[in-house]
């Protein structure tokens, strides 16, 4: 038991000093973050974005969106755009570029949280892309959509406006009807659609 006994207790005397120092540092950081607090609050209106996530996004991309002419420029800078490398009809790697490591990791984590909101646009987008391309590519697409939304929110000073889970169904109803009728026809059902009466 002698190895666990520490006769020197000087570290206990230093504890109150270090607590005071941490409190002073927190106050200093809080004062420095005051101008961007409203921008971070806007980002927290997006599903999946916590206070910490919003602070990381603001720390990585800043609050001045005039540096990026469009949201696409921000996505490219962050390394969230897949490459389009094709030559002679052969498609090469579409892996994402290296970009802001902290930003990308934070957005992917936030995207996983956002797709859990079943009534949201991001969940519907995730399910659509996951069916065709797989879960990992779908979550990266959702993260890119979240960064695009963050760009517009910071540029315009607006809160997040969720388009809803039914956005893709209502966007092009004739295309959806045509696809579903073809699917029923492939299954062997003959369906004749009736026009809606107003």
110 has a pLDDT exceeding 80 = yes
pLDDT of 142: 92
Decide if 80 contacts 104 (C-beta within 8 A). Answer: yes
Look at 6-10, 100-104, 173-177, 185-189 and tell me which has the smallest mean pLDDT: 6-10
pLDDT of 1: 46
Q: How far apart are CA 50 and CA 54, in angstroms?
A: 6
85 has a pLDDT exceeding 70 = no
* 46 secondary structure, DSSP code: S
C-alpha dihedral sign at 177, 181, 183, 184:
positive
Q: Is 10 or 121 the better-scoring residue by pLDDT?
A: 121
pTM for this one? 0.70
pLDDT of 111: 92
pLDDT of 86: 67
Q: What is the pLDDT of residues 166-180, one digit of tens each?
A: 777 777 777 878 888
List the Cα angle 134/82/52 in 5-degree steps. Answer: 80
14 has a pLDDT exceeding 70 = no
Percent of the chain with pLDDT over 90: 9
The chain-wide mean pLDDT, for the chain, equals: 81
Q: How far apart are CA 56 and CA 117, in angstroms?
A: 22
List the Cα angle 89/175/186 in 5-degree steps. Answer: 80
Q: Is 133 or 95 the better-scoring residue by pLDDT?
A: 133
Look at 11-20, 65-74, 161-170 and tell me which has the smallest mean pLDDT: 11-20
pLDDT of 196: 73
Decide if 75 contacts 26 (C-beta within 8 A). Answer: no
Q: How far apart are CA 165 and CA 160, in angstroms?
A: 15
């Amino acid at each position: 038991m002698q190895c666990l006994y520490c006769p020197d207790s000087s570290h206990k005397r230093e504890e109150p000093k270090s607590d005071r120092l941490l409190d002073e540092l927190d106050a200093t950081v809080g004062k420095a973050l005051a101008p961007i607090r409203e921008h971070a609050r806007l980002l927290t209106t997006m599903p999946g974005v916590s206070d910490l996530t919003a602070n990381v996004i603001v720390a990585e991309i800043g609050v001045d969106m005039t540096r990026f002419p469009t949201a696409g420029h921000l996505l490219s800078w962050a390394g969230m755009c897949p490459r389009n490398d094709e030559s002679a009809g052969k498609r090469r790697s579409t892996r994402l570029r290296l970009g802001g490591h902290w930003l990308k990791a934070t957005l992917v984590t936030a995207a996983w949280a956002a797709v859990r909101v079943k009534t949201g646009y991001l969940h519907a987008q995730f399910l659509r892309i996951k069916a065709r391309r797989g879960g990992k590519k779908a979550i990266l697409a959702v993260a890119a959509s979240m960064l695009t939304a963050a760009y517009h929110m910071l540029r315009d000073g607006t809160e997040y406006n969720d388009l809803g889970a039914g956005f893709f169904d209502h966007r092009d109803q004739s295309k959806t009807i045509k696809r579903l009728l073809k699917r029923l026809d492939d299954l062997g059902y003959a369906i004749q659609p009736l026009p809606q009466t107003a």
